[in-house]
Amino acid sequence: MLREYVAPYRKYMWWSVLLNILSVIFNLFSFSMIMPILKMLFNMDGKQYSLIPWDQVSLLDTQSMINNLYYYVAQFTGSHGASKTLLFLCLFLCIMTVFKTACYFGASAVMIPIRTGVVKDMRKKIYDKILSLPIGYFSQERKGDIIARMSGDVQEVENSVTGVLDMFVKNPILIIGYFAAMVIISWQLTLFTVIFAPVMLWLMGAIGRKLKEQSLEAQALWSDTMSQVEETLGGLRVIKAFLAEKKMSRRFLGIIDSMRIKTSRVATRQASAHPVSECLGTFMIAVVLWFGGSLILKDNAPIDAPTFIFFMVILYSIIAPIKDLSKAAYSIPKGMASMERINKILESGNPIQDATDAVEIHGLDKGISFNSVSFRYPDGSRDVLSGIDLEIDKGKTIAIVGASGAGKSTLADLIPRFYDVTDGSVSIDGTDIRKVTIASLRSLMGNVNQDPILFNDTIFNNIAFGVENATREEVIAAAKIANAHDFIMEKEEGYDTNIGDRGVKLSGGQRQRISIARAVLKNPPILILDEATAALDTESERAVQEALERLMSNRTTLAIAHRLSTIRNADEIIVLDEGRIVERGNHDQLIAKDGYYKKLYDMQAL
């Protein structure tokens, strides 16, 4: 899965490979200066060196290379003196160190675009997936949990990606380079050292085996935390009204206490990586020191003391990338645990799809038909709608009334395919909407809901939300039809006024009229009104109702009504009860029947 995100940034990885190889080369060159410096400082031998022709020296002939290095040092010492030679060697050591550290920095710097790019692409993919999922998906998932996966889990994967890239790019290069140098210097010492490395790595792996499982639990608790915060922000008015602050605080404390325990266990294991690897590394160095010292003390020792010190410096250098591997071994399981949670969103199926032979529709000629429609939610045990037969002719206004839970909103949601019917079919101009492209189907419709959905943007952008390249004149015209222009112009910045999160800077009636203006600008042939005036006071309702009547003019309208007074002029009123049509007719006909509709009407008239 991670390979898919890293693939677009391969060129940065190749740069990292090159710079890491150079850093190893410069590091070995800088270390190689240690031997002649030590020999000069301590006047360890008076041996005379003669130059071996370079065409007779192979890359693996380290003794000849060292011999020639000492020859040049001796020649330079004879010409310029030991003090200047020592200064020259120290300067060369510094220069090689500068090159080495520059390559280290470059190798790390070129990985930054990968890290930031992967996170950007992952968040974009999750966001696009959220937009593509059906509305039914979000009735089963908590918003706080989804937010947690997009924030905390993606951040955890980012940290894990760095470990993975270090494992497969930087550390193997360093380990291979240093290991090759160790073999060249002394294969006996290297063989002895290799015996202990697997033991060290096995111990590091044993400590982190349960980390992934604990990380999954910790991330799940993080989702619970975000869900609690999201619920608190959304229900703050109710919490304060019912004096439930202490209750919510105790509930939140319970969640974060559980999260603290889990994250503490994970953090403890991660914190153990460095001291354990440090301890094991020291043990290995001590054992090698004993073994190497024993070799030097023997007659005809295979290596001298400076070379042994050179070997020990390289050995100590190889421990650092091994430590990084151990840290990566800790972070990767934690990141993979987060990746599993992210994949739960990315791999979620969407049953609302275009058929392979789907056609586009560009208007409404006859009307909308419900043919023996039944509907049941995926996690439901009973039908929400059952046996619905309904004709909505072009240009007619059909009102849907009934008690809460009767299935009114569900019936309306079937037309734009927010859900698909369980049985039967919904047709437009005789074509099953499942054989029509979703984009062309929804382009015919405008929605005005009880709770107007507005965005933290300007009034202009909220009205023009569903229309590309809308002009200011078109937006103003739509606002006038929606009875919104006057109150907009009273704002200091007019149409450029920012309305805040979900339009909190506007009143309920003003928000609803902005929502209506948005529908007017789209100019859809089919209009769906879902209790558009239910939450308004009488004065606001009158202004909104006037705007709705203008909007409904010459359009095919399905109006879900809570206040029956607002749909008296509908061409037909459909009365639902427990998912079935129990009565139908216009207002006067239904009153005359003295049935369920009359009962609802009389209750509101009291």
> ∠339-343-347 over CA atoms, to 5°?
165
For residues 258-271, average pLDDT: 73
Residue 222 has pLDDT above 80, yes or no: no
The four Cα atoms 173, 176, 180, 181 give a dihedral, to 10 degrees, of: 50
The separation between CA 206 and the C-alpha centre of its own chain, rounded to angstroms, equals: 30
In contact, 381 and 417? CB cutoff 8 Å: no
Least confident of 62-76, 212-226, 240-254, 389-403: 212-226
pLDDT at 331: 66
Count the domains in the chain: 3
- Predicted local distance difference test score (pLDDT) of residue 218: 64
What mean pLDDT value characterizes the chain?
Answer: 78
Same domain, 493 and 536: no
By the 8 A CB rule, do 161 and 334 touch? Answer: no
How many Cβ atoms sit within 10 Å of the Cβ of residue 213? 12
Residue 370 vs residues 364, 410, 411, 586: alpha-carbon distances, Å: 15, 13, 9, 19
350 located within any domain: no
Claim to verify: residue 305 and residue 403 sit in the same structural domain: no
Query: Residue 100's pLDDT is what?
Result: 84
Cα–Cα nearest to 556, from 400, 412, 394, 409: 394
Give yes or no for residue 212 having a pLDDT over 60: no
What string of DSSP letters covers 132-148? HS-HHHHTTS-HHHHHH
Between 204 and 562, where is the model more confident?
562
pLDDT at residue 558 is higher than 80: yes
Q: Among 23-27, 36-40, 113-117, where is mean pLDDT lowest?
A: 36-40
> pLDDT at residue 319 above 60?
yes
Is residue 549 predicted with pLDDT exceeding 80? no
Summarised one tens digit per residue, pLDDT across range 149-165 is 777 777 777 777 666 67
CB 318 within 8 A of CB 281: no
pLDDT number for residue 137 = 75
CA distance 440 to 438: 6
Q: 534 with 518, same domain?
A: no
Instruction: Report pLDDT for 56.
Output: 67
Q: Are residues 281 and 174 in the same domain?
A: yes
Mean pLDDT of 114-133: 82
SS3 211: helix
Is the residue at 351 inside a domain?
no
Sign for the pseudo-dihedral over CA of 191, 193, 199, 203:
negative
Do 435 and 571 share a structural domain? yes
In this structure, the strands spanning 431-432 and 423-428 are antiparallel
Position 492 scores a pLDDT of 85
In a domain, 349, yes or no: no
Position 551 pLDDT exceeds 80: no
| pLDDT at position 535 over 60 | no
pLDDT winner (highest mean) among 4-8, 320-324, 518-522: 518-522
Question: What is the SS3 assignment for 354?
Answer: coil
CA distance 507 to 372: 41
Please name which of 16, 335, 327, 337 lies closest in space to residue 159, comparing C-alpha atoms: 335
Q: What is the pLDDT of residue 510?
A: 85
Nearest to 394 by CA among 590, 560, 571, 587: 571
Q: How confident is the model at residue 82 (pLDDT cuts 50, 70, 90)?
A: confident
Q: Residues 184, 141: one domain? A: yes
pLDDT at 208 over 60: no
In this predicted structure, the answer to whether residue 391 has a pLDDT above a threshold of 60 is: yes
Could you tell me if 488 and 479 are in contact, meaning their C-beta atoms sit under 8 angstroms apart?
A: yes
In the chain, the amino acid numbered 563 is R
At residue 260, φ and ψ (nearest 5 deg) are: -60, -40
Given a cut of 80, whether residue 286 has pLDDT beyond it is no
The predicted-structure confidence for 576-593, as pLDDT tens digits, reads as follows 888 898 988 888 888 888
The residue count of the chain comes to 606
Dihedrals phi, psi of 184, to nearest 5 degrees: -65, -40
Residues 412 and 331 in one domain: no
**Cβ(190)–Cβ(180) below 8 Å:** no
Residue-wise pLDDT for 443-492, tens only, equals 888 888 777 788 888 999 888 887 888 889 988 988 888 888 888 898 88
* Whether residue 118 is found in the same domain as residue 218: yes
Contact 216, 341 (CB under 8 A): yes
In a domain? residue 89: yes
- Which pLDDT score, from 0 to 100, does residue 1 have? 59
Structure tokens at 320: 């650092």
Q: What tokens appear for 210 in the block? A: 């349960």
Number of H-type helices and E-type strands within the chain: 26, 10
pLDDT above 70 coverage of the chain, percent:
79
Question: Position 203: which residue type?
Answer: L
Among 502, 523, 544, the domain-final residue is 523
Whether 40 has a pLDDT exceeding 60, the answer reads no
Residue 448's identity, in one-letter code, is: V
The reply to whether 222 and 335 lie within a common domain is: yes
One domain for residues 494 and 472: yes
Give the end of a domain, one of 482, 503, 523. Answer: 523
pLDDT of residue 44: 52
Q: Residue 248 contacts by C-beta under 8 Å, 6 or more apart in sequence? A: 228, 232, 239
pLDDT at position 35 is: 66
User: How far is residue 163's CA from residue 328's CA, in Å, rounded to a whole number?
Assistant: 5
Say if residue 461 is in the same domain as residue 418: no
* pLDDT over threshold 60, residue 34: yes
The backbone torsions φ and ψ at residue 370, rounded to the nearest 5 degrees and listed phi first, read -105, 120
Q: In terms of Cα–Cα distance, which of 390, 348, 338, 349 is closest to 367? A: 390
Burial status of residue 323 (CB atoms within 10 A of its CB: 0-12, 13-18, 19 or more): buried
The reply to whether 490 falls in a domain is yes
369 band by pLDDT with thresholds 50, 70 and 90: very high
Chain centroid, CA 56 distance in Å: 59
In a domain, 589, yes or no: yes
Collapse the DSSP code of 114 into the 3-class scheme (helix H, G, I; strand E, B; otherwise coil) and give the result. helix
- For residue 124, the number of C-alpha atoms closer than 13 Å in the C-beta half-sphere is 7
Which pair of structure tokens corresponds to residue 83?
């003090």
The DSSP symbol for 352 reads -
Range from 43-52, 156-165, 494-503, 560-569 that averages highest in pLDDT: 494-503
Handedness of CA 508, 509, 510, 511 (dihedral sign): positive
CATH of the domain at 555: 3.40.50.300
Which residue, among 292, 281, 291, has the nearest Cα to 317 in the 3D structure? 281
Could you report the per-residue pLDDT of 171-198, keeping only the tens digit for each?
788 888 888 888 877 777 777 777 766 6
Tens digit of each residue's pLDDT (9 = 90 or more) over 394-408: 888 898 988 888 888
Greater confidence, 31 or 21?
Answer: 21
Q: Find out whether 488 and 495 touch, Cβ atoms under 8 Å.
A: yes
The residue among 146, 51, 41 whose CA lies nearest residue 83 is 41
Q: What pLDDT band is residue 428 in, cutting at 50, 70 and 90?
A: very high
In tens, the pLDDT along 127-139 reads 888 888 877 777 6
More confident residue, 256 or 213: 256
Rounded distance between C-alpha atoms, residue 510 and residue 142, angstroms: 29
**Tens digit of pLDDT for each residue in 492-533?**
888 999 988 778 888 878 888 888 888 888 888 888 888 766
Helices (H), 482-563: 485-489, 508-522, 538-552
Residue 201 region by backbone torsions, left for phi larger than 0, else alpha for psi between -120 and 50, else beta? alpha
CA-closest candidate to residue 441, choices 358, 357, 557: 358
Q: How far apart are CA 548 and CA 570, in angstroms?
A: 13
Using DSSP, state whether 457 is helix, strand or coil. Answer: coil
Handedness of CA 584, 589, 590, 594 (dihedral sign): negative
pLDDT of residue 533: 66
Q: What global pTM score does this model have?
A: 0.68
**Structural domain boundaries enclosing 600:** 356-444+526-606
CA 373/CA 390 separation, integer angstroms: 9
Q: Is residue 35 part of a domain?
A: yes
Q: What is the CATH number of the domain that holds 241?
A: 1.20.1560.10
Comparison of pLDDT for 328 and 261, the residue scoring more: 261
Whether 336 shows a pLDDT value over 60: the answer reads: yes
Is 131 within a domain?
yes
Same domain, 251 and 365: no
The predicted model gives 5-24 an average pLDDT of 83
The candidate with the shortest Cα–Cα distance to 86, out of 97, 95, 98, 74, is 74
In the prediction, which pLDDT does 427 show? 92
Domain edge (last residue) among 523, 551, 571: 523
- Residue identified by tokens 């704002």 is 491
Q: What is the DSSP string of 500-522?
A: -GGGTTS-HHHHHHHHHHHHHHH
